[in-house]
Structure 1
């Protein structure tokens, strides 16, 4: 079957079947980087034309000897070679791709090395066990013991893909090599080893994990470079998930405790970021005895970045607690910290907490929510930072399910109004996007009484993005409350905008009709909207008139044939004779759509 594929490729491009390597050489030596890049990107086509034998004997050696180019070209080459296995004759010959990728894995530019390692990892899976030992492992050893740190950092990423399918003696060599990389004199190499330790741990046998990798893990966690130590935290997750609880307590937890109290805020930040993954890996018992206290420390950390990262995890941490201690831990350990974070001096911390705090309501239940959480929600609804108020409002559904919206509605209103009138248009835009959710939570009566006027005000905002969002908001509200509500409450106000002195507001009227037509039936369109649109066909502003043509093309398919022939077609015919070119153009377009 594969031979047929190559034959078809040759037939499709018979000129390419004699494609000389010399042409490729000329293109790759051209001064134009883009030309060289294009040549690399069509390598698979060239290889297909050459056939598998010439690709192996000519193209791959040439590419191996030509690793001296712009980073962009080398990056494209590294990516291409990862897909080359079928083009060199399949898995039997895949090892011939190793030399050029080995060269690419040693270059100075990090993204090129990373892409070369990624391709090497792909083709490692395509080696047989014998070829892996014969060809791939020697490559790993050469990279891991190379003179330049670039080579050794690349080598770190290849141990995990080679280890599982080699013999015991080779495995011992690989573990020894990895230990050397973990103790390398160059921080960049130790950092690379630290980043791959968790991945390597997953393929190493448990006895060697304890005897060989745990000492490396402990050593890296005490490294003088915080960039090395912070990568140990992720390894902590992988290693903990592989061990029994008693081994985790004995072998991992001392290191994790040190990381949570590390002198570098970046290490503590990483612990906070990975906290729920760590919680899952160590299990409920160790969480109860060790992680609760560590989490409290992170929530009270002196660095705002750490507190914000920990605050983001409050809901997930609490949800994952053992049900037998969940409420007591939240009330006694987490909630006191949360109360302090609500009034934190840093707005990012308050915002992070506001995005998750509502999620505590379903866990704690109605009485605890009303007594302990509700005052915090109300406090955050009055916060000076718009993002804090937005985050509370966007998560209202969690609280509504537990205590009902009545408890919050009176405090909600001032916060919503302030956000709706905020000087920053992006804040106004955000509250518009939450309005359908709020409408569903608050109910139609409260909405009509308190928020309806606000939604109409947005339609005449001076920022187009706000007017556009407000228009779409109307459609969602109609879908929420129904067409009867739209006829009584929304459509009369929209239609009234057709008489506004500002032509932009008259155009917004048309935009509203466009979207409302999607949500309302033909009867409502014909009775309440169409007369307004037809009247606006005589507007003095050309922009309004050609938007009338656009609107007619939207509503026409929703109406019956008699309505179209008696009302819409005459209006479009008149617009096709308009003095303005754009009006005539859009009217003609509309006529074609409606025909």
Structure 2
């Protein structure tokens, strides 16, 4: 049977069917037609170059089993008609004014028809949407040519060979279809077993007719993960088609139910969907529905989902509270949820309640605050250790925002019991809660409430509790003040600094490094005396911490007092068996001794330490020494530097590690800037040239390093540039240019282009001086533009351009 379609025709032999259906209200008036391109489940051809389709009889042949017709007694075709349409299905558009439906291939069910549908899942709708673009064309006006109409776009998929799209293509398709459907409210119908009886079918058809983007969104959510992920990301397109009332009655209930069957990775995305939906309306019923949907996420075992859901609840409450709504969102939506969570035996519910209560307490009414406190006390009585641990962790946030009387009540009912709980992690969190409570108390109240808890934590048998207290002594000093600390808690701190467990001792001393600067000098000297008496029994790490503590104390003390109190300890630490401890003293040497102390014994110990470091295989030790070369020159004076530290400078310049050499290059530039030009030229420049030209005659070049490697040559060239910044033209160029010209003839390309870069630097350094000494370099650069190495030619051109810019010719 042939039918007429106002939307185009299907080529003969095509594996596609075009079904044309009139709308309910306009079938008689022929005002509007919907053309739906449906994939025929047979092997079909692809589009040819002309935009049509080619096929042969073998490819289009199929059996009755290949069809999935929608049976309708009113429109079923005769066997002869069906047989006549098995090979080909086509639409005759010879008379566009009299459209008819092709019922030979698949009868079409009109909206509102009470029929029994075939077994076709919602997934088939999803695949139908993805595999086919629905083409909607209006009936052409009388007198217009059919060629002016747009032809439907068809995607080809062969039977039994489902086209597997890449995820990126699928995501793009879902986004495009959602956007198209959101902009298009054209009436359409689809048959599906998603509905069962006539009533549900009518409702389904109504939703499909009015809100195609929402129906497509539902199919994607219930379909594959790839489509669901992209659909969740594009939920705002659906909300644009639905008004707030429909979002509340259709979209929110659907997501509330659909999320119960979602995997974890989709639940992480749906939190953002609920956030988007929460911004649509602030009506009481809508917000209650949103919170009811988020309640499922709060109960998830995955902590990341719970955390995001808790943050979303708080965000919703803040948004509603800041708006001009006239209802109490806490009382109507949140409080019932919190009561349900706190009374639940599922750990995730109780843990989420522990996190929610401190975040919502400040926004609650007086009555709600009372109920929140009761919920929190009830949570502490839970039989689950993980819940009690969460109560202890969040009590620190809750106590500061409560009324003082309520805080005291919470202290006795919860915090005091936490301090004696059998689980040590709970007792460790009790320290934070106690300090948060103590910040609000008077000295008399702290004497009764806080000090007993702190002293009990200091003597706790668990190292975890003592470590927690030791790491928070900076807060103790801040909250109670130095006088109270000295009176009640100083001996306790000394015990922690010398704890029997190394992990506690390391934590106590390491934390003390960060806040010891806040102590007064008399109290600092008491700590110095304590550390001196326990220095030998301390670990290497603790002794390094002590060196930093002494340097901090020394920065606040008079130089004479530093020499008296810390001088013996500095000498003692410079003889330490651990190189790292000695380097800690060297790193702070300008604070721990005076320049005149160099000749009083400390200089010899410093030289001994330096010799030990130069022989070590740890390059980071040598790096620390290289970083202090400039400090040695500034602190101990030029005489001591030239005598003791200049040889170290050249030895480190020839280090095997690039990082050490690069650090020394910076030191050379700084030292040359502070010294006289004559000394720089006679001492440093002379030695650098000797190392490059005559490495065998230099005492700083090892025998194994001769001839110089390309890395050492590059370092010397860069050092020449660093020295040139402190010399004038007469003292620099006459001696540097021969070295650079030699470097440009080096067989290694790296050396050649580094020499060229050095020439370019010289042009910039001496651009305000006479150009005659530099003309010789430009001539060499012109030759290097023909070098075999690409990098050499590139830098040669760059250097020539710089030369011409610095010394333009008339």
SS in 2 for 1:185: coil
Who is 1:5 aligned against? none
Pair 1:183–1:20, CA change in 2 (3 A): same
Pair 1:589–1:402, CA change in 2 (3 A): closer
Residues 85 and 94 in structure 1, CA contact (< 8 A), matched pair in contact too: no
SS in 1 for 2:566: helix
Q: In the aligned structure 2, how far is the partner of 1:132 from the partner of 1:290?
A: 44
* Residue 584 (str. 1) matches residue 793 (str. 2): yes
* Residue 113 (str. 1) matches residue 311 (str. 2): no
**Higher mean C-alpha deviation, range 304-313 or range 523-532:** 523-532
* TM-score, reference length from structure 2: 0.62
* Residue 492 (str. 1) matches residue 686 (str. 2): yes
* Residue 543 (str. 1) matches residue 750 (str. 2): yes
Q: In the aligned structure 1, how far is the partner of 2:283 from the partner of 2:671?
A: 59
Who is 2:55 aligned against? none
Residues 653 and 660 in structure 2, CA contact (< 8 A), matched pair in contact too: yes
Who is 1:390 aligned against? 583
1:88 corresponds, among 255, 272, 280, to 280
Who is 2:117 aligned against? none
**Higher mean C-alpha deviation, range 235-244 or range 572-581:** 572-581
Q: In the aligned structure 1, how far is the partner of 2:264 from the partner of 2:407?
A: 38
1:95 to partner: Cα distance = 7.2
Who is 1:311 aligned against? 509
Structure 1: tracts of 5 or more residues without a match: 1-9
**Higher mean C-alpha deviation, range 473-482 or range 373-382:** 473-482
Who is 2:353 aligned against? 155
Who is 1:199 aligned against? 397
1:284 to partner: Cα distance = 3.1
Q: Deviations over 1:141-172 (max 9, x none)?
A: 44333332122222222222211222111101
Q: Deviations over 1:303-326 (max 9, x none)?
A: 1111122223445665445x5xx6
Structure 2: tracts of 5 or more residues without a match: 1-174, 184-211, 323-327, 696-706, 806-810
* TM-score, reference length from structure 1: 0.83
Pair 1:460–1:319, CA change in 2 (3 A): closer
2:551 corresponds, among 340, 349, 358, to 358
Q: CA RMSD in A?
A: 4.0
SS in 2 for 1:423: coil
1:470 to partner: Cα distance = 2.7
1:257 to partner: Cα distance = 0.3
Who is 2:622 aligned against? 428
Who is 2:661 aligned against? 467
1:485 to partner: Cα distance = 6.0
Who is 1:4 aligned against? none
1:529 to partner: Cα distance = 4.3
Residues 315 and 356 in structure 1, CA contact (< 8 A), matched pair in contact too: yes
Q: In the aligned structure 1, how far is the partner of 2:758 from the partner of 2:289?
A: 63
Greater share of residues in helix: 1
**Higher mean C-alpha deviation, range 512-521 or range 501-510:** 512-521
1:280 to partner: Cα distance = 1.3
**Higher mean C-alpha deviation, range 106-115 or range 243-252:** 106-115
* Residue 209 (str. 1) matches residue 403 (str. 2): no
Residues 513 and 545 in structure 2, CA contact (< 8 A), matched pair in contact too: no
Who is 2:70 aligned against? none
1:425 to partner: Cα distance = 1.5
What pairs with 1:27-176 in structure 2 (closer than 5 Å)? Answer: 30=224, 53=244, 57=248, 64=256, 65-66=258-259, 74-75=267-268, 78=271, 80=272, 84=276, 88=280, 98-99=291-292, 101-128=294-321, 130-176=328-374
Q: In the aligned structure 2, how far is the partner of 1:46 from the partner of 1:134?
A: 30
Q: Which has more radius of gyration? A: 2
Report how many aligned residue pairs link the two structures.
575
Pair 1:390–1:191, CA change in 2 (3 A): farther
What pairs with 1:406-445 in structure 2 (closer than 5 Å)? Answer: 408-445=602-639
**Higher mean C-alpha deviation, range 391-400 or range 188-197:** 391-400
